[in-house]
Amino acid sequence: MHQDDDKETAPVEPRAHVAQVTPTLITINSRRYQVAVNHKDAVDTTRIGERYDEILGKYDFIVGDWGYEQLRLKGFYADTNHQADPDQRIGHVQDYLLEFCNFGCAYFILERIDAPEKPVVVRKPRRPRTRQPNPVDESRYGRDRTDRRHKDEAPRRKHTPRSGKPYAEKRGATSRPERGRNEQVHTAGKGHGRHFTVRKTD
């Protein structure tokens, strides 16, 4: 026997487990598909299992066509999926059969019943934004310096005048003439020749 004949007759390991539940219902890896179209009795569960690829599980429809005794599988999305390209929706299947398949070939269309559930996205609660102090603003607006001192250092006390007035009153020292015991001090003023005599009484 020729070596090529051995390759043709060698059994192919199935890629997926395909079972015919009813004439219009099959399962592929426990996923249920309804046989929407079975033109020329094209459904063959054995050959579907051999040609199946796991990437087809994300589609809503699987279209299989026969050419030269070879089965080809292609996935399509539902028409309600507006995120998919128009040529990837099931409404484009007739154009696909005319352009890429043999004329009058046998084909079938499988519609998935239990579509995969959308993953639930759990969003983490947003933390409130805290405004970080700007070092430029601190130097500009004069941030309190008490927070810059060490923890163990006692804060400085602010000087408050004893008089209780909101301002500090500055008084100049007056010079007094020196005088001894039983001495007289004469103070002469500039104005109009006035003289004052200060005497110390015993």
Alpha helices, H only, 23-175: 45-51, 93-100, 135-141
CATH topology (fold) of 7-112: Hepatocyte Growth Factor (3.50.4)
- Cβ-proximal residues to 85 (8 Å cutoff; 6+ apart), any chain: none
Decide: helix, strand or coil at residue 95.
helix
Contact assessment for residue 2 and residue 19, using Cβ atoms and an 8 Å cutoff: no
pLDDT at 13: 77
47, 36, 112: which is closest to 73 by C-alpha? Answer: 47
Give all strands (DSSP E) within the chain, no chain letters.
Answer: 18-22, 25-28, 31-39, 61-67, 70-76, 107-112, 185-188, 195-198
pLDDT at 2: 44
Pairing of strands 25-28, 185-188: unpaired
**What is the rounded (10 degree) CA torsion for 101, 105, 106, 108?**
30
For each of the chain's 202 residues, which pLDDT tens digit applies?
444 544 455 667 777 899 999 999 999 998 999 999 999 999 999 999 999 999 999 999 999 999 999 999 999 999 999 999 999 999 999 999 999 998 889 999 999 998 655 555 556 677 777 766 665 555 555 555 555 555 555 556 655 555 555 555 555 555 555 555 555 555 555 555 565 566 655 5
pLDDT at 95: 93
Residue with tokens 């909101």: 166
* pTM listed for this prediction: 0.53
Extents of the domains making up the chain: 7-112
Residue with tokens 């292609």: 74
Decide: helix, strand or coil at residue 89.
strand
